Chains A and B, each alone.
Chain A
Amino acid sequence: MMARLLAALVAFALSVAAPAAAPFDYRLKPEKIADDTWVLIGSTEDITRGNGGNIVNTAFVVTKEGVVVIDSGPSRRYGEQMRAAIARVTDKPVVRVFNTHHHPDHFLGNQAYADVPIAALPATRAGERDDGGAFADNMYRMAGDWASGTEPQVAQQDVKPGRLTVGGHEFELIALEGHTAGDLAILDHRTGVLFAGDLVFLDRAPTTPHASVQRWLKSLDALAALGAKKTLPGHGPVHAGSAGIEQTRDWLKWLDQTLMQSAANGLDMAEVMRLPLPERFERMPLARSEFERSVTHLYGAYELRALDSVALPVLQQK
């Protein structure tokens, strides 16, 4: 009886352990969205032990001179598997990597490209240096062993804004800000594809841990003026037209208004977090949790402006 029970338990343990013991395969399948242009679309979830942090879009462009990679993903494993996926598409070597900004899901795969020049805006490089360690720890906390062995590898080169031609592709490197202090957008003039990084989200609520809403809105105007044929947002589906820009702008304006009004009405943070979402955002993935996070990131500044009437001290203190 006891032996049987044990055997059953062992069998159960093995059956549970088997999928977890699989070699952490992100199952990356490059999708071709334009000439020479491939993307890896992540889920629109939060980072979990189930998805290993694959919640992000990355891309690569296969030029005559070699492959240009845009963002390296959330972990060392992702970077390695992305590089293997690239090798399944082309024999050409990876010649250059760009990090669009310093958030962990976009650059913690850099280790897989240690032999390739990695470039980012100066503010992005500074962010990778200052926050990278904490980001890697937190990725491990959220994604578990998917992230083991992941260390921040800081981009070695500054991006110089302007045109850069690689193997017949004329890339416009556009230095913007607002989602973070340094947001690189890349327009490929050859294909009309805009790699927008996290300045653009579509059907996934935008994140704001290092955001300046006003600067972000200005950057969206600059992106809209490009008139790109196709846009790869940092999170969400590839799309033609400006749906991502419009939706991100709509969210940010609503967020700004909501926080301003809440502060003017005297609400406290935890109360603001409970406010109803507008119908158009109710079913957007992560709308509630990103709104809660944004209240923590941003409300303090709105609140301080509303508390402008400094009370008069009636007693001088030593």
Chain B
Amino acid sequence: MKKVIAALGLALALAGTVQAADADPLNSSRWPDLQREYLNDAPVAFDPRIEVLAPKVAEDSMNVPVTVRLKGLPDVKRVLVIADFNPIVKVLDFQPLLAQPGLSFRIKLQQASPIRALVQTGDGNWLAGGVWVDAAGGGCTAPSTGRSAPDWAQKLNQVQGRVWRDGQNQRVRLRIMHPMDTGLAPGIPAFFIEQLAIVDDKGDAMLKLETFEPLSENPVFSFDLPDTGAVALRVVGRDNNGNRIDAKVQP
């Protein structure tokens, strides 16, 4: 019996250390579940090189601006963005490919929540960074505002874009007309962009991402890519109803 107790004690002590090493700096009660659900319980190192920029308080719960900035982190394969306390947790899943691994976008928040970037590097390891955003909330259950405009369907998936080049890099900013309905407003089914990519003139993807309901209506993105000169970039994608996005952004 004593042995069992000692073993239990040892196990508890070990569990304690493991937990301490992985302790969530944002101290969110959701984190252990999310780690299990999205990372299959893979170990995660919270890394100061992963910065999530967002306002401390969401002034507009339908449009909370987020920038993920990764400084000096080599070989990033994947950036998964989640919001712990949103009814739909996953925001986007980004594969930078040729692009820099940081990006900017806006999300809807239903209540105060951490917003996290989970970053996978080429060796398969996961790193994370994040920030708490306070919010009056309600961002996910309100109907999109554009639906009340008579011509919203004509504008669906239209892309506005602009490129800033400096010889080495180019910043691409995009706005895509889409209601990004979460399915949580009564009588309005989920209707959102699911896939997006920027491709070069040969049709090869320079970056791609999967996107989910919490992204704001008419989503705006900023990406940083290597400068490709005077060649027009193509933005391609589709929403969950099969509507295509296909547009050229002239440099």
Contact = CB atoms under 8 A, between A and B. Distances in A.
Contacts of B57: 289, 292-293
A314 B234 contact: yes
Contacts, number: 101
A309 B161 contact: yes
Interface string A265-304: 1111111011000000000000001001101110010011
Interface residues of B, number: 36
Nearest to B64: A296
A314 B66 contact: no
A312 interface: yes
B36 interface: no
Given A311-B159, A311-B248, A297 B59 contact: yes
A303 B136 CA distance: 25
A141 interface: yes
Nearest to B234: A314
A268 B67 contact: yes
Contact of A317 (B106, B164, B235, B243): B243
Given A209-B59, A273-B55, A307 B65 contact: no
Nearest to A267: B222
Interface in A251-277: 265-271, 273-274
A263 to B, nearest CB: 9
Interface string B50-67: 000111110110010111
A141 B58 CA distance: 14
B250 A309 contact: yes
B162 interface: yes
Given A297-B59, A309-B161, A270 B173 contact: no
Contacts of A168: none
Contact of A270 (B55, B164, B234): B55
B249 A273 contact: no
A268 B222 contact: yes
Contacts of B243: 317-318
A308 B104 CA distance: 19
B91 to A, nearest CB: 14
Contacts of A295: 55, 65
A87 B162 CA distance: 62
Contacts of A289: 56-57
A260 B158 CA distance: 24
A268 B220 CA distance: 9
A269 B173 CA distance: 12
Contacts of A1: none
Interface in B42-91: 53-57, 59-60, 63, 65-67
A292 B57 CA distance: 9
A116 interface: no
Interface in A62-112: none
Contact of A271 (B53, B63, B156, B250): B53
A209 B250 CA distance: 34
A273 B104 CA distance: 13
Nearest to A292: B55
B164 A265 contact: yes
A313 interface: yes
Contact of B53 (A273, A303, A304): A273
Contacts of A297: 59-60
Contacts of B249: 311
A270 B161 contact: no
B55 A312 contact: no
B246 A266 contact: no
B134 to A, nearest CB: 10
A306 interface: yes
Contacts of B162: 266, 306-309
Contact of B246 (A209, A310, A314): A314
Contact of A296 (B60, B158, B235, B246): B60
B240 interface: no
User: Among A293, A306, A314, which residue has the most Cβ atoms of chain B within 10 A?
Assistant: A314
A103 to B, nearest CB: 14
Nearest to A268: B104
B17 interface: no
A209 B161 CA distance: 27
Contacts of B54: 270
21 contacts: A265-B164, A266-B162, A266-B171, A266-B222, A268-B67, A274-B53, A292-B55, A295-B65, A296-B60, A300-B63, A304-B175, A307-B173, A307-B175, A308-B162, A310-B160, A311-B159, A311-B160, A313-B246, A314-B234, A314-B247, A318-B243
Closest 4 pairs between A and B when the two form their complex, measured CB to CB: A269-B65, A268-B104, A270-B67, A296-B59
Interface of B: 53-57, 59-60, 63, 65-67, 104, 106, 136, 156-162, 164, 171, 173, 175, 220, 222, 234-235, 243-244, 246-250
